[in-house]
Structure 1
């Protein structure tokens, strides 16, 4: 896997059990910032409380961004529920404001896509929400293209923007 250069103010590493509570707090803090509250959003997904276990499943990985020993965000990949076996989903990629604008999102994206390729996926799908403009710009810079509707059965009925990328 790609290493984070020593000159960056943060590092990326696989999630550990000790990170579960802070990652859940980050997700539940960031999502309302963008209006992602209520049913149909990951904020209510019970997986949020045990991310390290959820992403220990086959062909799944979740990474955290940390600075000075403090976790500031994360992102992962897993098979697309109800989708083709060769398609993964970029999942639960959220960062606290202090991690934004530092290049951590681009580095996290690269790390996740590298893991997806390593698991043998040929495409990566994601769902997001109108208003997450910086995230959408990152997805497009990373080679994702907007598609007309959802794939698979993610359970995220509140999302209204869908992207796909060949790996």
Structure 2
């Protein structure tokens, strides 16, 4: 049985229909889109369940789904080293793109310590706020940088503290 099918079954038994919002089967990697409010619980379950044991968070990526779509996605690539299987899960957040109203996703730093750095990078470059993160601050750009450079509507500044950027 394919791992994504088995994970669907396990999550349905554990959480009913409250965990999985959508199953994406198109593209190179199928993914489970998880309801934002259940993300941390689902991740903890997937890490600790003896059948899945996703002990390694390979990557977190933030995706700007476009100005017209009005949403952002956060993609989590999970791996189980002992079981040698992988899983992609996602959370999608509708957002009005205002800089004073960032898209909010719960942190998973309590599940995988490596999420600390991945979430900080997604915050810094895309402006996704990870609620509950122990030290959410910029990691690549200066603290006073305005905007989030990987957003599709980002306007590059011409200067930074009087120094030409372009």
TM-score, scaled to structure 2: 0.33
Determine which structure has the larger helix proportion and give its number.
1
TM-score, scaled to structure 1: 0.33
